[in-house]
Each structure stands twice: as C-alpha cells, then as structure tokens.
Chain A
Amino acid sequence: MLSIKNLTASVNGTPVLKGIDLEIKAGEIHAIMGPNGSGKSTLGKVLVGHPAYEVTGGEVLYEGRNLFEMEADARARAGIFMGFQHPIEVPGVSNAAFLRLAYNKKAEAEGREELDPLEFDDFIHEKIKLVAMKEEFLDRSLNEGFSGGEKKRNEILQMAVLEPRLAILDELDSGLDIDALRVLGDAVNQLQRPDRALLIITHFPRILETIQPQFVHVLSGGRILKSAGKELALELEERGYDWVLEEAAAGGLR
C-alpha cells in the first residue's frame, strides 16, 4: 500500500528526515516510536503533504502512485488520513458542517452518493457513539476551545467519518486519560480492516496495548534505527530508547 524509499526531508532548510525506508501493506499495523524531536511527526506530515516540510529526496508510492505528485487534498480523497498531534482550531466553522463537507467531498471523488444534512445527521450519530463524543460538540466550532483530549476524540471522529485506507495517528494518547484512550483505541481497532493500514506514531508504548502493531520501528535522528515485531514495544517500555541508539552506534549504522 505504502512504499517509502530513502526519503529525506527538511524544514526551513534543516534536514529532519535522513533516509527513511518503510513498507506498509494492507491489513498491517505499524508503530513508529522514538525520542522527542526524532522526526516522527515530520514523517507523518510529509506523507500528508504539509507545506512547511520540503521533500529533498527519495520516493514514496501509495497504491502504486507517486505520492508527491498529489496535492494534500487529493491524498486525503485518495484515502490517506493523519490524526494530528496538535489539531488546529477553526472558529466559525461548525464541526458538523465541516464533517459533512469533508465526507461529501470524498464521496464525490469516489462516485458515491453525497448525504444531505438530514441523512448526514443519522450517519454522524452512529459515528459519535463509536468515539463516545457528546452531541454538543457537533454544533461547536471545529476544535475551538476543545481540550487536548477532546481534539483527539474529534480527530478519531473525522477518521471514522472518512474511513481512510491509510491512517497515520500522531501521539493519539497525549491529552487523553486512560478511559478515553481505551475508547479511542477500540474505535481505531474497529475501523481497521484487511484492506486498510495503520501507522501509529507514539513516544509512549502505552497506546500499543490497545492498538497492537505487528511491526515496531524506532526512529531517531531522522533515521529508522531498528525494526522488529510488537515485542520491541515492550522492550522499549522496560528499557527506554538509549540502548537502541547505542546498539545502532556500535553497529556503525550509516
């Protein structure tokens, strides 16, 4: 589904990603872990086309298409979604209207039928149950005045509405209490299908107890230093990141 080869990227002229290779197949769940500042969010934002990040080399194929030839909105309509670490607040735009608009733009692109406000009402009420969101949040402006946790809940609601093929979730657990994390983790699991894939970006292994990856990658200094199965997450929980960095240095990686 997603094939990343030797990807490099910089922000304001400073290289942040220094050669990333990653293969994600349909049905898989991958986790990217690593210390703060290692480039995890950057990787996600590059994949969804954030304009602040410049791709300086390498290639990314999404379902066989060159990702970098697609605008950010085209990538979204093609099924890529990122739940952001810090979702933006948009005053004056109601959450419900925004969700309906996003849903209909995607439906239009896929040749499916668009939903009118009444139909969408029924649709969205099923979805807010999935993420246990209170109805009043639909009428509020998009993320405006939402707490950190409420924003994360709203990101997963957007994911549930858009049903992406590839979802990248950046630090989903930050700002969430244990119960909310379980609810949202379960929601993400319910949305996972054999033809979809997940890329979970997280500093803390906690979330991987609910959303269990088959593959765990450690990213540091803009490179993937180690890839293994889900047992790596447990090891990182017990031992932290330093040993991976030391091991990589000893192995003379690049």
Chain B
Amino acid sequence: MTTVVVGSNLLGDLLSGPRPAEWASLREAAELRLAGRELPTTSDEDWKYTDLKALAGIAFGPAPRATVDISGYLLPEMVGTRQVFVNGRHAPHASCASAVPAGVRFFPMSAASEACHSLGTVGNGAAKSLFEDLNTARFEDGAVILVPKNLKVALPLHLLFITEAEAPAAVFPRVLVVLERGAELELVEEHHGTGTYLSCPMVEIRVAEGALLRHERVQREGPESFHLGTLKAEVAKGGQYHSRTLSFGARLSRQQPWVRLAEGAAATLDGLALLDGHQVADTHSFLHHAEPHATSHQLHKCIVDGQARAIFNGQIRVAPGAQGTDAKQQSRNLLLSGSARVDTKPQLEIYADDVKCSHGATVGQLDPDELFYLQSRGLNADDARNLLTYGFAADVFTRIPVASLRRVLRHLVMARTQATSLGDLS
C-alpha cells in the first residue's frame, strides 16, 4: 500500500498564485508557517473523523471574476445594510450600505485598509490553524465592520459571500468585526455557492468592554463544495458574543470557532447541522474561560440522514483563577437513518475549583413521549415525527431577531424535514 501524501500539491497550488499586495507582512508570516506543512489526515487526532482526501484530489485554481443575481438572497431588513462578495471579491453593484447608521464603518477591506489595523491580531495567543493561515496568505478582500463606543446599531448588517465556480476554485473570505465599548450589533453572515470550490473563511471579532454582538452564520454552500471556516473572537470584560452557526450545505464542512472570554463576559455558541446524502459536517469549538465569572452556553444540534456524518468536539478550558465560571454545553443529535453517524465529544479542561461546568450529549431518535403527545392531539405518526424533527432544528433558530431570516430558515428546514405539508409553522 502506498501512503498518499495528502495535499502536498493542494497547498502548493493554493499558494502558487500571486500574493495580494496589502498586508504583506501578515501574509509573509502566514506563508512561513505554512511552509512544509501538509493537509491534516485522519491520523491527526483533530481530524480523526474528517477525511480531507477528497479535497486533496482536486486542483483548485483562483476564482475568476463573476457577477451574480443576488435578488434571491436579499432580506428586507437589510437591503440597505449589505456588503456582497462574489468569488472572494467585493461586488460594489450588488452591495448597498445606504442605510448603515452614521458612525458605523461597514466597508470592503480593499476600500478601508487603514481601518484594519487589528487584522490578524485576534487570538494571537492561540495556535493558528492551517486554514486560517491559508486565508491570511491569500484572501483577496473581505468586510470590515467597526462600531464606535456606545452605538447601538438599530439595523442588522448583512454579509453575503457567494461563490460561482465553473472550474474548481478556491476562495478566502475575510471578516473583521470590532465593537468598541458598549456598542451593540446584530450581524448576519451567509455563505452560498454553486460548483466545485473550496471556501476558507476567516472571521476575527473583537468585542470590547460591555459591548454586545449577535452573530447569525448561515452556511448554505453548494453540494459539491468544501467549507473550512475559522472564527476567532475575543470578548472583553462584561462583553457579550452570541452566535448561531447553521450548516446546511457543502459536501464537507468544518467550523472552528475559538472564543476567549474575559472577566464577566458571556458567550453563546449554538450550532445546527442538517445533513443528508454523503455530507460531512464537523464542528471543533474552543471556549476559553480565561478570567473569572464568565458564562458560556453551547447548544449544538445535528440532524443526520442518509449516510451523512456529523462530528462535534467541544473544548472548554477554564483557566487557573477563572473562578465563578459558568459553562454549559449540550450536544443533541438526531439520527434519521441507520447509516447516519455522529461522533460527539466534550473536552473539558478545568483548572479552577469554584466553577459550574456541565455538559451532556445525546444521540438517538425522537422522544416517544413527545411523539405520543402530538398524536394525542390528532396528528398522525408521520406528521408528528416530521413536526418534531422540524422543531428539533427550529429550536436553534426560532429566537433569531431578524424575521425574514427566520422565515427563510423555516422554509429551508421544513423542506429538509418533510414538514412542508404541515403548513405555516410560524
């Protein structure tokens, strides 16, 4: 048997293109770290269940310029607060920031590079993943969002990343969000696409003291795509970061959120993956309770059908001295077919003694008591099952404040859980 040197070409190919001119030193540093590295394989503990072999066999070129019709992606609350990126580049004609409140900076990086001085600085204490470095080395453009002190932004902001690949292509979406002290923002980040492509987004977030960021992340990449995303967030004293990541698309996806909480900070890191066919969706999260009295909640749900596979690895670290930490993690998984598979693992590292940490994982079928309850109200067994499956997923997004996004998700999830015949479930 020959050992496949997975990805030795892939990284070289991805890096062979020209290095964009901006942020040269950041990029050089990333390239240096990448030199000699190879794609992880399943013998890597961190990638044990997520096999990148299929990725390694594809020659991804640079993504060409393209224009797309975005009318299907527009959400009414955010028509005037949107930035659109197509194939990794800003799409000025598809974007519209006319309703962005004064004081908020919401630009493509290419137009506001001076505002990006904290780029590449979030989570610098932590090791950089290969895909984060790849992004840094090759991203073309991205979005920068700066909200000044105490400004509570009334309208949500919309970030749309769309990839249209006629030939295999790689894109590296980049986002930098900085909330100054006491600022508040709701951000919706979406990823869509068609064709065979690799998307390696990197999102950096700084939430200053007492600031609050709500972040809805929707991954609806095309069925032949790969999505390998990194997110790093630092939440300062008393700040809050609440996110939901909803994964629907891609043949293989991985979400790697890393969140550091300072004293009294709060984070929500909820997730939903709805999978069928041969899809693989992996979430490797890291919640770092670095200082005392921070709270974190993590509800991760997967519905897995066909021969699909979901992976969840939820690492929580409570640093020495982080007394009064309150961390709650739940991994709930619904298997809809005999060949679907879930691997879920909590990973708690607790170095303080006065803490409240709980975690739980369930893998299984629908609860018979819930089924009976619905049947006792006249729903037949199929309807009851479909409604509960829908509800299992909807539980993660029913509290999204943007009504139109909720509606889109509702319809999407209803279609995927055979609940469409049940009528309007709002």
Docked pose: A101 CA to B377 CA in angstroms: 9
Contacts of A48 in B (CB 8 A): 376
In chain A, what residue has the closest Cβ to B399? A141
Given contacts A101-B422, A158-B377, 7 further A-B contacts (CB under 8 A): A48-B376, A73-B379, A93-B388, A93-B391, A94-B398, A94-B425, A109-B378
Contacts of A92 in B (CB 8 A): 390-396, 398
Contact A117 B424 (CB under 8 A): yes
Contacts of A245 in B (CB 8 A): none
Docked pose: A158 CA to B398 CA in angstroms: 22
B17 within 8 A of A: no
Contact A90 B378 (CB under 8 A): no
Within the complex, the shortest CB–CB distance from A45 to chain B, in Å, comes to: 9
B335 within 8 A of A: no
Contact A102 B392 (CB under 8 A): no
Contacts of B395 in A (CB 8 A): 91-92, 141
Contact check: which of A50, A100, A104, A158 meets B372 at CB < 8 Å? Answer: A50
Docked pose: A84 CA to B379 CA in angstroms: 17
Q: What bracket does the count of chain A residues touching chain B fall in?
A: 35 or more
Q: Measuring CB to CB, which residues of chain B are less than 8 angstroms from any residue of chain A?
A: 367-370, 372-381, 383-384, 387-388, 390-396, 398, 422-426
Q: How many A-B residue pairs have CB under 8 A?
A: 98
A217 within 8 A of B: no
19 residue pairs bridging A and B, Cβ less than 8 Å apart: A48-B376, A49-B372, A71-B375, A73-B376, A76-B378, A81-B376, A84-B373, A84-B376, A88-B369, A90-B374, A97-B426, A101-B423, A104-B423, A117-B423, A117-B424, A141-B391, A141-B395, A141-B398, A162-B377
A51 within 8 A of B: yes
A87 within 8 A of B: yes
Q: Measuring CB to CB, which residues of chain A are less than 8 angstroms from any residue of chain B?
A: 48-52, 71-73, 76-77, 81-82, 84, 87-88, 90-94, 96-98, 100-102, 104-106, 109, 117, 141-142, 158, 162
Docked pose: A142 CA to B373 CA in angstroms: 11
CB-CB under 8 A for A105 and B378, given A88-B373, A97-B425? yes
CB-CB under 8 A for A94 and B426, given A48-B376, A72-B375, A106-B378? yes
Contact A73 B424 (CB under 8 A): no
Contacts of A52 in B (CB 8 A): 368
Contact B388 A73 (CB under 8 A): no
In chain A, what residue has the closest Cβ to B391? A92
Contact A77 B423 (CB under 8 A): no
Within the complex, the shortest CB–CB distance from A184 to chain B, in Å, comes to: 18
Contacts of A84 in B (CB 8 A): 373, 376
Contact B391 A76 (CB under 8 A): no
Within the complex, the shortest CB–CB distance from A118 to chain B, in Å, comes to: 10
Contacts of A98 in B (CB 8 A): 374, 377, 387
Contact B425 A82 (CB under 8 A): no
Within the complex, the shortest CB–CB distance from A173 to chain B, in Å, comes to: 21
CB-CB under 8 A for A90 and B388, given A71-B381, A101-B423? yes
In chain B, what residue has the closest Cβ to A117? B424
Docked pose: A51 CA to B390 CA in angstroms: 23
